[in-house]
Chains A and B, each alone.
Chain A
Amino acid sequence: MILQLIPSTLRMTTPLGYAALGGIYSERSGIINIALEGMMLIGAYGYVIGAQISGSEWIGLMFGVSFGIILALIHAVATITFHAEHIVTGLAINIFAIGVTEYLIPTPDRVPGLPEVKLPLLGIYSILVILVPFIMILSHLFLYKTRWGLRLRAAGESTEALKTLSLSRAKWQYFAVIMSGVLASLGGCFLSSNVHIFTKGITAGRGYVALAAVIFGNWRPLNGVAACLLFGFAATLGLENRWGIPDQLLKTFPHILTMIVLAGLVGSSKPPNSLGKNNS
């Protein structure tokens, strides 16, 4: 029974996992990233555009990630250089991404998907699914076991800490936001490569679910992906319609859980100290 749910759960988790890891980089450096949704959307869009132009899935992936980086750069320039309000900037980017992908919507021709790998017992998966645990562990090691990770987190904990070491807070924040663009757009690439087509609003709020996973996972890579796995499992149960709970209501599970955790009623979740604070 449970075994049958595994393939679907992993496929539901993958796009969330990438976006959540992206969100963790950005928010650990102090930049609130509501633009995950837009970055995923533009990634899904770029994949299809690139693959249609060239016929190659790899060019598609390159396009998707480049588009994601462009949006991330816009977010970075606005929030870090121009000191704009992070939340409004993120929303503006999401609106921009919706507009661009509707305005220049690609033709509905099928594009090639990414190569697949067969895992023993578990089934056949796209390489992007297989990569998630590796990126998760690398991100954990980077953030918690290296000097650079420490500096990135210091940028998020205090507006002054890096300055006293004569290091640039802005530089680390730029790096972190670009990383979030790369990762979130990879999640988007997975979505469109999986169905071989781009449709309007293909992300369907997954960027915000990923944001919920970031909070639920207490801004840590391992916990964040674990939260995505839980949300992915809930989404799978919704598809299978077990227990007779309507799919629509089951979809609210991540959101309600996040509100409970954020209120500190169950478990605890503490954001980086200087999250959302601009440089002085």
Chain B
Amino acid sequence: MSKDSPNQIRQLLHSFLPSVIAIIGFFILCGVTLIIRGQNPWKFYELILISGFSSIDDIGSILFNSTPLIFTGLAVAIGYKAGLFNIGCEGQLYVGGFAATWIGLNIDLPPFILIPFCIIAAMSFGGIWGAIPGILKARYGAHEVINTIMMNFIAFAIMSYLVTSIFQEPGQMEPQTAEIHDAARLPKLAGLIPILPQSNLLNTSFLISCVVVLFLYFLLKYTRWGYELRLVGNSPEVASYGGINPGTVTIWVMTLSGAIAGLAGVADVLGYHYRFVLSFSPGWGFTGIAVALMGRNHPFGVLAAAILFGFLSKVALDVELLLDIPHGLFIAGQGLLILGLVCMEGYIRIKNQ
């Protein structure tokens, strides 16, 4: 252990302070809104504790909710580290999810071949969807934010067309495909962990997300690519002087980011719905931005923040059912939470200059 490690830890804690303040502010705001509505806020706080921590089943559900957010949060974070803003995760996860569905529908192989095949397909298509804005930025200097937004809409449109025409489940009115082969389904963890009830939805995609967390941690910390990525993120000019081509880094980071976002589609298609359901994502790509922000773009921070948001979405559902509080309150609160966070961040940045 080096001498300055307590100092480093203190610095790390300091950098997470805005996240902690934002989340406390969020819960206080929820309570105030309830008082205005004439409801008892203590009932709400009590329900939060009950809904989140009363059984192993609850914890499983929270981790299940957080799985797609881990992927999208990591996708945003890795881009951000390189100074790129990927708000196209929503489109990338749909394209990736569709690629996985397509393989799962048409090919029947043993699971240990078919599942990796589906995952690779999803990562490739998500990667392509991320690479296009990356190439446009590296080659033509076109801003990736606008292009990722545009790519989102193009993805929605193509998915909506495919799922209501060629790939629609025969004889059905719902905009969804037929079910994928059994061999393509990700096993549930309830079979592996005996204390988890059979009905729990937590599945292997959560383990995949943990592997990606570790992979990115090592990539960023211990490899030359991670070093180049961070250098380009800090200053593309300095990186160029150091013999690094920022354009190349931009392209591979956007590709990797899109590929990871594609895995969020896998989590839903192979892990939950077992088919492609039109607009299956309740905005995971956009929540991923909040997750990355809250987790300070650090892989472990993102993991923690995603679990927090998974917890919030479970609470939102329980609160809606038991206390008749509309879901919109949580969405609005989430918006304010992000706002508070960026304001604190901007303010601290200016004060430190």
Residue numbers of A with Cβ under 8 A of B are 32, 34, 74, 77-78, 82-85, 87-89, 91-105, 205, 208, 211-212, 215, 246, 248-249, 251-252, 255-256, 258-259, 262-265, 271, 278, 280
Contacts and interface: CB of A to CB of B under 8 A. Distances in A.
B105 interface: no
Dominant SS at the B interface?
Answer: helix
A231 to B, nearest CB: 12
A88 B342 contact: yes
Given A84-B342, A87-B145, A100 B332 contact: yes
A248 B279 CA distance: 14
B328 A249 contact: no
Interface string B287-303: 00110010000000000
A262 B329 contact: no
A83 B334 contact: no
B74 to A, nearest CB: 17
Contacts of B149: 34, 208, 211
Contacts of A265: 140
Contact of B146 (A103, A105, A258): A258
Interface of B: 85, 87, 136, 139-143, 145-147, 149-151, 153-154, 157-158, 160-161, 164-165, 283, 286, 289-290, 293, 326-336, 338-339, 342-347, 349-350, 353
A227 to B, nearest CB: 14
A264 B140 contact: yes
Contacts of B333: 99
B286 A83 contact: no
B87 A91 contact: yes
A218 B147 CA distance: 16
A262 B336 contact: no
A82 B346 contact: yes
B289 A91 contact: yes
B335 A96 contact: yes
B154 A211 contact: no
A34 B335 CA distance: 14
Nearest to B147: A259
Contact of A246 (B87, B165, B343): B165
A105 B328 contact: yes
Contacts of B139: 263
Given A84-B342, A264-B142, 18 more contacts: A34-B149, A78-B343, A82-B342, A84-B345, A84-B346, A87-B87, A92-B338, A99-B333, A100-B328, A212-B150, A248-B158, A249-B161, A255-B153, A256-B154, A258-B150, A262-B136, A262-B143, A263-B139
Nearest to A264: B140
A104 B290 CA distance: 23
6 contacts: A32-B145, A84-B345, A87-B85, A92-B336, A94-B335, A98-B332
B342 A97 contact: no
B143 A95 contact: no
Contacts of A87: 85, 87, 145
Given A78-B343, A83-B346, A93-B339, A99 B329 contact: yes
